[in-house]
């Protein structure tokens, strides 16, 4: 599982792992470009700056910070501020009321591991108690049921055979009585 420190890139704390991964890529791109800028003259640096703005290379605060430092370096080198294009951010930073689909506006609350552990333990105990009650209820229903099941099948079968045996002995007695009547009536 990823750690919360994975959300911190370049001194910025990001709200999702996807944003942090994008910032990590931009940090690597900025480091690469920083190495290349050392060998460029002023006009090449300005051309690279303009090209990055045109292609929207950076979209996180990490990248914007690099663009700002490049812009400051160009200003220090003698290019007037009016000749440098501003850094477009393409994001809304003002929270809109009732905007529920804006994940970037949601704050990450600090994790209270002890509280989470207690809540998980409490939930687990409650769930186990409910399951035990359900199992006991199932046993009670099974024991009181007239249908044969694994708990009372022997008794149910013995009762059924006893009823059959009683029925057969009653029929047998009835047949014997009829035979006796027939013998008596034939013998007379």
Instruction: Report in angstroms the alpha-carbon separations of 187 from 11, 69, 81, 101, 178.
Output: 121, 133, 141, 105, 14
**According to the model, what pLDDT value does residue 1 have?**
43
pLDDT at 93 over 90: no
Query: 119 or 143: which carries more pLDDT confidence?
Result: 119
The string of pLDDT tens digits covering residues 142-160 is 778 777 777 777 887 888 8
CB 23 within 8 A of CB 60: yes
Tens-place pLDDT, residues 14-52: 778 888 888 889 889 888 888 888 788 888 888 888 888
The packing angle between helices 17-37 and 42-55, to 10°, is 160
Alpha helices in the chain (DSSP H): 17-37, 42-55, 61-76, 113-144, 153-187
DSSP 28-57: HHHHHHHHHHTT--HHHHHHHHHHHHHHT-
Structural contact between residues 15 and 106, judged by C-beta atoms closer than 8 angstroms: yes
Residue 92 pLDDT exceeds 70: no
Q: What is the pTM of this model?
A: 0.47
């Amino acid at each position: 599982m990823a750690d919360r420190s994975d959300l911190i890139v370049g001194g910025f704390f990001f709200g999702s792992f996807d944003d942090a991964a994008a910032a990590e890529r931009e940090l690597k791109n900025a480091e690469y470009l920083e190495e290349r800028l050392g060998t460029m003259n002023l006009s090449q640096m300005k051309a690279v700056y303009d090209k990055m703005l045109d292609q929207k290379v950076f979209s996180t605060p990490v990248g914007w910070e690099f663009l700002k430092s490049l812009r400051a370096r160009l200003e220090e080198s003698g290019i007037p501020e009016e000749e440098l294009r501003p850094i477009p951010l393409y994001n809304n930073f003002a929270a809109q009321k009732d905007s529920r689909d804006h994940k970037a506006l949601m704050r990450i609350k600090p994790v209270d591991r002890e509280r989470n552990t207690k809540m998980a333990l409490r939930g687990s105990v409650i769930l186990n108690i409910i399951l035990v009650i359900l199992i006991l209820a199932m046993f009670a229903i099974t024991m009181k049921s007239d249908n044969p099941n694994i708990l009372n099948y022997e008794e149910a079968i013995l009762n059924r055979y006893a009823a059959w045996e009683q029925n057969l002995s009653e029929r047998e007695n009835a047949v014997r009585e009829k035979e006796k009547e027939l013998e008596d009536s034939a013998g007379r």
